[in-house]
Chains A and B, each alone.
Chain A
């Protein structure tokens, strides 16, 4: 069942296209990894999927999914690293889309927030201070917030940037686990090696475009060229 369908889209901003002729489909339960060089338009694609910038041409549409139902894990900002907030306050803010004009959170939402923390191995962390957690724990808190916003589809922007190898491996394991539970994963990553280990589909954007299964990517000219380039870095 397709969730996101992108047809012959041109992406860019201020009327200047960065990527043209982009087509891909994300089915429910897929694990799509988006790779490409810096400046190739990965973040623009992400904003387009989240419905923050419209495509310049072509179309991108959701089926059975609203753009606000995508659980988004943005990259951490400097402001957040020393932000005085408890873990619960941050995870609850994942419900902001559902909260609307209601000025408070319901009991059910608080319980659900706790459940999502438990799922990510942070049981009992509700009252802890966010800025005192390790990088890996902070990232898991933000992932728990994304889970509050969705049960269907997660969009992860460089989820392991700034993490040490052990925390990164743990993060990938959690993402893999969520994927097994049936949540669609869309991940932007620099880390091609691990991406290829876990993902089911690859979208390569840049001068040349590729979309297909992981096996197809490994045998394509563009995939082999990119991988050998990454290895030599």
Chain B
């Protein structure tokens, strides 16, 4: 088995997939802790559907570089969702549901009406559950991904304490003069960027798993914000790495294999947590 693995690792496309997959998993897990604790888990889900809709538009327009449409549309929706979410909880919930199913339906409609592809259901399935596109990345896409992930990491490190402040207690943060709205905006924009990146890896229906599972697993065992954040990143990177390797060796779909490994990791962590009596 090791020989097969070594053989595969010799191919650049496998190395690209591993680099991109690990970076995406790292970024998603960092933001995941905040999103789960702020009760924003569904924003990830909603935004990923929006990204699917935008991708459908880009596909219909036959654009070679789909990011040009997908990224701005998702960022704008993230900002809008956050704005409505601030007023009342119910309204925010409904807005997310509305936008996400709307975008999903609209995206499929567009694709089925205008797509020139002979394999429509294959295209849709790929966009929803992660296609083989992770294995067909070009060098440019890999660099773009490295650049954006680097940006996310730098921002997260610089604003780590600010993110803690607005996650733990918005009211106190406001009273202390912290720009809570700006911080929330930053979180929303970073989330949107990560989701667009992650569409390549797991497809739009499975992105939420990448965001919430590592955070929930870490929270089962660890008890400070820093250790939860760090462990969530570690667990996410490990799962993504294992998932991609397994999918290559076993010939399973990449996205769902990674998510399955995440789920298994959560089960293990939940078991450890229960044993420790948390």
Contact = CB atoms under 8 A, between A and B. Distances in A.
Given A79-B39, A145-B172, A149-B176, A96 B226 contact: no
A79 B169 CA distance: 9
Contacts of B219: 84
Given A68-B176, A103-B160, A129-B224, A93 B171 contact: no
A93 B168 contact: yes
Contacts of B173: 93, 96
Interface string A131-162: 11000000000000110010000010000000
Contacts of B158: 103
A146 B172 CA distance: 9
A67 to B, nearest CB: 7
> What is the interface residue range for chain B against chain A?
20 to 34
Interface in B164-184: 164-165, 168-169, 171-178
Nearest to B170: A77
A105 interface: yes
Interface in B130-179: 157-162, 164-165, 168-169, 171-178
A84 B225 contact: yes
B158, B176, B224, B228: most-surrounded residue (chain A CB, <10 A) = B176
Contacts of B175: 50, 52, 67-68, 70, 72, 74, 155
Contacts of A174: none
B176 A72 contact: yes
B64 to A, nearest CB: 39
B168 A96 contact: no
A13 interface: no
A132 B223 contact: yes
Contacts of A129: 223-224
Given A52-B174, A68-B176, A84-B223, A103 B37 contact: no
Contacts of B157: 103
12 contacts: A68-B175, A68-B176, A77-B171, A83-B168, A84-B219, A86-B223, A89-B164, A96-B161, A96-B162, A105-B161, A132-B223, A146-B172
Interface of B: 37-39, 157-162, 164-165, 168-169, 171-178, 219, 222-226, 228
